[in-house]
C-alpha cells in the first residue's frame, strides 16, 4: 500500500465496526446446529425459502447454510463444513463495496449467499465471501429473509459474556506479506508486531481490524511439513470472553470438550475446543465485552 510507512494510524475507510455475522456452509446442518447449541447459541430464525438457520447469542450471529450448492463445487469433501462468509458491519455498505472493488477486490458474481437481500460482498480467501452490512442498528437484515422460530428467544444472552474475537485463516508457505497487503489494501487491517498474541494459539500473525474490535490470524503451514494438505481458507472462529476459565467451565458443563494438553492447554489467556465433526473448532480468547463502537482490543490482555 502506498505511503503506509508514514501513516501508521488506521484510517478505516470502510467505517468497519465489527462482525455482523459469520456464515458456515455445511452438508451436516443438524450436527453443526447441535454443536452451536452446546456453545451457547440458540436457533432463533429460519430462512423463508432455503435451508438456512440463524443462531444467536449476545452480539454474535451465526448463519448455518445447508442450501444445496452453498458448498462450492471445488470443495472435494462432500461432508465438509466450511466458514463460507464473514459479514462486516460498515458505515455504508455500498460505499464499502465500491472502495473494496476500487482497491482490487473480486466482486461476487452471483449471490451464492444465504440472503435474499442484496448484501454487497467480495471474494475473500478460498471460496469465502466478505459481506458488507450497514443495517445493524434500527433495522435487522434478518427481518427480511428469516422467520422467527416460534417460542424461541430472539435475543438469547451470551454465555459468559462471549463475543466474536476474530477468525483464523490458513495461508500458503511464505505468503504472509502478500496477505497482509491484501487486507491492508482492501480494508486497512494492520499487522500487529510479530510475536504479539492474545490466546493460546501463539503462532502466525495477527491483523487488527481498523475498528480494533476483531482480528484475523494468518497461519502458515508448520515448517516440519507435518500436514499433507494446507489450503488457504478460513478455519476457525475465535470467541472473546472476559473470563476464559469461567467460560470454559460453563461450556464444559454444556458438553464442550477443550484440548487439555500443551501447547494449547486451557489457561486464563485462552482455550481451544477439540476438533468436531466437519473440521470445526472454536477458540476462546481473553477479551473484554464487545461494544458496537468500541474496542475489545483495549480490554484484551496482550501477552
Which range binds another protein by CB under 8 A, 40-48, 59-67, 99-107, 251-259?
99-107
Near another protein by CB under 8 A: residue from 55, 97, 136, 179? 179
Nearer to another protein, 209 or 264 (CB): 209
Q: Does 186 bind another protein (CB under 8 A)?
A: yes
Q: Does 234 bind another protein (CB under 8 A)?
A: no
Phi, psi at residue 26, to the nearest 5°? Answer: -150, 155
- Torsion from C-alpha of 4, 206, 127, 13, nearest 10 degrees: -40
113, 89 contact by CB (below 8 A): no
Q: Does 173 bind another protein (CB under 8 A)?
A: no
Least distance to another protein from the beta carbon of 104, Å?
Answer: 3
Q: Does 105 bind another protein (CB under 8 A)?
A: yes
Closest CA to 288 of 180, 129, 162, 141: 162
Nearer to another protein, 181 or 220 (CB): 181
Q: Does 98 bind another protein (CB under 8 A)?
A: no
Interface of this chain with another protein, residues 108 to 127, rule: CB under 8 A: 123-126
Range 32-38 contact pairs with CB under 8 angstroms and sequence separation of 24 or more: 32/64, 32/81, 32/278, 32/280, 33/64, 35/276, 35/277, 35/280, 36/62, 36/64, 38/251, 38/254, 38/255, 38/256
Q: Does 4 bind another protein (CB under 8 A)?
A: yes
Q: Does 144 bind another protein (CB under 8 A)?
A: no
Dig out the grid coordinates for 284 from the structure. Answer: 476462546
Q: Does 177 bind another protein (CB under 8 A)?
A: yes
Residue 253 buriedness (CB in 10 A; 0-12 / 13-18 / 19+): exposed
Least distance to another protein from the beta carbon of 181, Å?
Answer: 5
Q: Does 7 bind another protein (CB under 8 A)?
A: no
Round to whole Å and give the CA distance between 94 and 169: 26
Q: List contacts with another protein (CB under 8 A).
A: 1-4, 102-106, 123-126, 172, 174-175, 177-182, 185-186, 232
Amino acid at each position: 500500500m502506498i505511503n503506509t510507512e508514514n501513516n501508521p494510524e488506521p484510517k478505516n475507510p470502510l467505517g468497519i465496526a465489527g462482525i455482523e455475522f459469520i456464515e458456515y456452509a455445511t452438508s451436516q446442518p443438524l450436527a453443526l446446529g447441535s454443536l452451536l447449541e452446546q456453545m451457547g447459541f440458540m436457533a432463533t430464525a429460519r430462512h423463508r425459502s432455503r435451508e438456512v438457520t440463524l443462531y444467536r447469542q449476545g452480539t454474535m450471529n451465526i448463519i448455518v447454510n445447508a442450501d444445496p450448492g452453498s458448498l462450492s463445487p471445488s470443495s472435494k469433501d462432500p461432508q465438509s463444513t466450511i466458514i463460507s462468509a464473514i459479514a462486516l458491519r460498515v458505515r455504508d455498505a455500498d460505499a464499502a463495496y465500491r472502495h473494496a472493488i476500487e482497491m482490487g477486490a473480486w466482486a461476487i458474481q452471483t449471490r451464492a449467499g444465504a440472503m435474499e437481500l442484496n448484501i454487497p460482498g467480495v471474494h475473500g480467501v478460498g471460496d469465502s465471501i466478505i459481506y458488507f452490512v450497514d443495517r445493524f442498528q434500527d433495522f435487522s437484515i434478518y427481518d427480511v429473509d428469516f422467520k422467527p422460530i416460534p417460542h424461541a428467544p430472539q435475543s438469547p444472552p451470551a454465555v459468559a459474556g462471549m463475543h466474536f474475537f476474530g477468525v483464523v485463516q490458513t495461508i500458503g508457505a511464505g505468503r504472509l506479506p502478500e496477505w497482509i497487503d491484501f487486507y491492508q489494501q482492501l480494508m486497512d487491517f494492520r499487522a500487529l508486531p510479530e510475536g504479539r498474541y492474545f490466546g493460546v494459539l501463539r503462532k502466525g500473525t495477527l491483523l487488527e481490524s481498523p475498528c480494533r474490535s476483531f482480528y484475523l490470524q494468518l497461519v502458515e503451514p508448520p515448517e516440519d511439513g507435518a500436514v499433507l494438505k494446507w489450503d488457504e481458507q478460513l478455519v476457525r472462529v475465535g470467541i472473546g470472553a472476559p473470563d476464559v476459565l469461567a467460560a470454559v467451565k460453563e461450556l464444559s458443563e454444556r458438553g464442550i470438550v477443550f484440548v487439555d494438553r500443551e501447547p494449547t492447554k486451557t489457561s486464563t489467556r485462552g482455550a481451544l475446543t477439540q476438533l468436531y465433526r466437519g473440521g470445526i473448532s472454536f477458540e476462546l480468547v481473553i477479551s473484554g465485552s464487545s461494544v458496537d463502537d468500541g474496542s475489545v482490543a483495549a480490554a484484551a490482555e496482550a501477552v
